[in-house]
Structure 1
């Protein structure tokens, strides 16, 4: 079992070494650190970058040295991967491409977190809005997700139905949305992940949901896996969940393409 999506203190997670020790205790063979990074200079994402520290473009070399230090220690028993989770907006493709080429991570996750400047994980952004407006947000999310895949900038498309975490948006995606994404993935090097970031929370959301996953299987789309852990205590429980989930489903599980090239 390898976990290709986890966070550290280089964005909004716990100290790097503690996350490694938690992965070792969980019996993982490897863990990939994919701290958040936003390179957009527009006002809203730039403010989020400042407030939450999503600035791995400024700190990736320091984190890389820390990873190398841990890799060289004899008491570190698992593989540690040097990745990134990039916020994606089509308007930022040039800046994202330049940064990824410069930083040369082992692999890169791409994520759509916002539509029309609003984070799709924040319910208060959407309460009281009309059905027409909420449906347009869902359309915008999947437009951006397909653009992310077609850009070929990323090895992994993270939590591909993220808006299912948000009650006002949950259940509004259609088979047509899922089919469109599955077709794009089938034609791309990018793979989606089975993401357990909310699987053990009250809402029990696994990304992608059952209907979406079935369509991905119809297109023979392979998947990778990520716990989306931010704290040490999350790593083991989510790894156990993912292992059981994969056993229940007939899925082709692969490493992120960057690690296979």
Structure 2
């Protein structure tokens, strides 16, 4: 069984530390056999080359990003499997533009994440101020509808942190919506994987994305799972991998996976 981490970032996105090679070295130190490089994709639909320098890399830097991964794949061949990935926002109106750009490259996998609802970042600590529960629930329902759309788009192999709304607002998890169950049904139908993302511990909510209850529901519907630390510093590569493996086994999952050349590599738990 290979130990893997599919979700890592580096300095190009503007809010992570370290080079790609730093994360590969950290993966080796952590005993990983597979490391996925998945920095935030540029805003391909924007006219400016680098409109948000502290959120994503510049469009003009994407070729260099892919080239660097390919060089490091060769350098570390036989020691660790380095995979070329991207974490991409899902914007319905810009989906065709992103598809066109990603098609130019031989990527191993794509993570699709929803970071914006109603044009506002889900990690904006002030977005919930003054909102009624009804308004909060509207945002939550839109969030899950966007995740459903991202799964149906066929663009992604993995869906990132599917309950990240709770990151800086844990109370949102207490508001029930049937859209969560519907979303997991859609994800199962499309055979897209969800990640167990251990970066929630770095935010107010603590713990992982998604919650134990969502994981149990995902298992019931046969949703595939993978692992991602979502590390923004090399020291977090592979963070809590063994703990996640044990919880998935206890939940009822029999396997998890990583992706290579856009195909799942199934690993027993």
TM-score above 0.5, yes or no? yes
For residues 236 and 192 of structure 1, do their structure 2 counterparts lie closer, same or farther at Cα, with a shift above 3 Å needed?
Answer: closer
CA distance in 2 between counterparts of 1:230 and 1:188 reads 29
Q: What 5-or-longer segments of structure 1 have no aligned partner?
A: none
Aligned to 2:34: 30
Question: Which structure dedicates a bigger proportion of its chain to helix?
Answer: 1
Cα-to-partner distance string for 1:35-72 (whole Å, 9 max, x where unaligned): 102435469xx798423251364323212222233233
Aligned to 2:12: 10
The 5 Å alignment of 1:197-236 reads: 197-199=199-201, 203-236=205-238
Checking the alignment, whether the CA contact within 8 Å between 1:57 and 1:99 is kept in structure 2 is: no
For residues 206 and 35 of structure 1, do their structure 2 counterparts lie closer, same or farther at Cα, with a shift above 3 Å needed?
Answer: same
1:132 Cα deviation from its structure 2 partner: 1.8
Aligned to 1:61: 63
CA distance in 1 between counterparts of 2:131 and 2:188 reads 34
Correspondence for 1:97 among 87, 94, 99: 99
Q: TM-score, normalised by structure 1?
A: 0.88
Q: What 5-or-longer segments of structure 2 have no aligned partner?
A: none
Checking the alignment, whether the CA contact within 8 Å between 1:31 and 1:79 is kept in structure 2 is: yes
Checking the alignment, whether the CA contact within 8 Å between 1:9 and 1:15 is kept in structure 2 is: yes
Q: TM-score, normalised by structure 2?
A: 0.86
1:164 Cα deviation from its structure 2 partner: 1.7
CA distance in 1 between counterparts of 2:10 and 2:43 reads 19
Checking the alignment, whether the CA contact within 8 Å between 1:192 and 1:222 is kept in structure 2 is: yes
For residues 42 and 72 of structure 1, do their structure 2 counterparts lie closer, same or farther at Cα, with a shift above 3 Å needed?
Answer: closer
For residues 236 and 85 of structure 1, do their structure 2 counterparts lie closer, same or farther at Cα, with a shift above 3 Å needed?
Answer: closer
CA distance in 1 between counterparts of 2:50 and 2:144 reads 22
CA distance in 1 between counterparts of 2:157 and 2:31 reads 25
CA distance in 1 between counterparts of 2:77 and 2:182 reads 46
Checking the alignment, whether the CA contact within 8 Å between 2:113 and 2:160 is kept in structure 1 is: yes
1:10 Cα deviation from its structure 2 partner: 2.5
The 5 Å alignment of 1:1-261 reads: 1-11=3-13, 12-13=15-16, 14-39=18-43, 41=45, 49-52=51-54, 54-55=56-57, 57-73=59-75, 77-167=79-169, 170-174=172-176, 176-199=178-201, 203-251=205-253, 252-256=255-259, 258-260=262-264
Checking the alignment, whether the CA contact within 8 Å between 1:126 and 1:168 is kept in structure 2 is: no
1:121 Cα deviation from its structure 2 partner: 1.4
CA distance in 1 between counterparts of 2:184 and 2:76 reads 42
CA distance in 1 between counterparts of 2:137 and 2:263 reads 37
